Amino acid sequence: MLFPKKKETPPPRTIGLLTDFGMADPYVGQMKAVLAKKAPACTVVDISHEVEPFNVAQAGFFLAASYVHFPGDAVILAVVDPGVGTARRIVGLELDERLLIAPDNGLLSLALSTTWAQSVRAYDFSRAVDAPDKVSHTFHGRDVFAPLAAWLTLGGDRTGLGGEIDPASLVAPDWATPDVSPGTATGHVLHVDRFGNCVLNLEAGCLGTPNQLALTAPSHTPLAYVTTYAQMPEGAPGLLEGSQGFLEIAVNQRSAAKALGLSMGDEITLTWEA
């Protein structure tokens, strides 16, 4: 039996939930029902269920920006899984005492590359697929990930489903790691928020305080480097450290995405006076 019952029940912990399932279908409700049945004392916090379908990079940003706000012993489940039912691994990333669970498709890569955790460990949880009596090949979120998260939250052995693995073995797509050198940086747009701000895969502070800053690809425009949106003239573009811990391209009281023709997934290049 892969998920043995525990003799002693540990104090309730928080479970975070992130998916691309939306709220129009029953998928999120079914996952939360499984969590409520198997770990009824645990609080479930929804990060978002409005990740663009199949957009692993956007989900990776939501996860990297959010997990640090959870209690130190939280279990956070992220399911954006275009490869559901295939041989892709199910993995866990332990950052200090928080445990992130996801398919091994790059979803954990941004959290790993930007973490300040003192302890970083990874686990292969792929054998969890064998635990339930019945598993839908198209809905591992309900039938595999949710029972796994509940079991681990209640004190299940993290090494008992495949063992510990090297964190460096986790899938790491190009969008997880920008290329930064003196005077130039190449990165990707991870997310466009409802205001049209374009969040980049560049950590806050990674450029210092650049002078003569410009966006040079895919279009060319000067950018003011500012601290607040109000420091940009209305309608003018700029770059600033956003609230989520990453740099973002913004236009004061306008959509930067529309003004500059940027979309999620776009590769961008910034240049400045080195």
Give pLDDT tens digits for 66-96. Answer: 999 999 999 999 999 999 999 999 999 999 9
Does 33 share its domain with 151?
yes
Same domain flag for 31 and 105: yes
> Is 90 a member of any domain?
yes
Last residue of a domain, one of 169, 203, 229: 169
Could you tell me if residue 8 is inside a domain? no
Angle at 146 between CA 143 and CA 152, to 5 degrees: 125
Strand, helix or coil for residue 131: coil
Determine, yes or no, domain membership for 23. Answer: yes
Judge if 105 and 22 occupy the same domain: yes
Hey, how many other C-beta atoms are within 10 angstroms of the C-beta on 170? 21
The pLDDT score that the predictor gives to residue 5 is 54
Write down the pLDDT at residue 51: 98
Give the model's pLDDT for residue 40. Answer: 96
Candidates 186, 194, 174; CA nearest to 247 is: 186
pLDDT at site 130:
87
Instruction: For the chain, list the strands marked E by DSSP.
Output: 14-19, 43-48, 75-79, 90-95, 98-103, 120-124, 164-165, 179-181, 184-192, 198-203, 211-217, 221-222, 224-225, 237-241, 246-251, 267-273
Q: Using 50 as the pLDDT threshold, list the residues of the chain that sit under it.
A: 1
* Dihedral angle of Cα 191, 193, 196, 198, to the nearest 10 degrees: -30
If you ran DSSP here, which 8-state letter would residue 21 be given?
-
> What was the pLDDT predicted at 1?
46
* Shared-domain flag, residues 158 and 58: yes
Residues 38, 160 share a domain? yes
Check whether residue 57 and residue 120 sit in a common domain.
Answer: yes
Residue 75 lies in a domain: yes
Q: Are 92 and 99 in contact (CB under 8 A)?
A: yes
Nearest to 12 by CA among 172, 154, 110, 146: 154
Domain end among 169, 193, 223: 169
Domain end position, chosen among 136, 169, 202: 169
* Residue 106: closest CA among 64, 163, 146, 150: 64
**What contacts 222, CB < 8 A, 6 or more positions away?**
212, 213, 214, 215, 237
Which run of H or E residues covers position 112? helix 109-114
Same domain, 201 and 233: yes
Q: Are residues 100 and 227 in the same domain?
A: no
What's the structural domain count of the chain? 2
Residues 199 and 157 reside in one and the same domain? no
* Range of the structural domain that residue 104 is part of: 14-169
Single pTM value for the model: 0.94
Is 2 a member of any domain? no
**Same domain as 183, residue 121:** no
Check whether residue 159 and residue 64 sit in a common domain.
yes
CB distance 183 to 35 below 8 Å: no
> Do 105 and 235 share a domain, yes or no?
no
We report the CATH number of the domain holding residue 99 as: 3.40.50.10790
CB 188 within 8 A of CB 200: yes
Describe the crossing of helices 146-153 and 27-38 by its angle, rounded to 10 degrees. 30
Q: What is the CATH number of the domain that holds 242?
A: 2.40.30.90
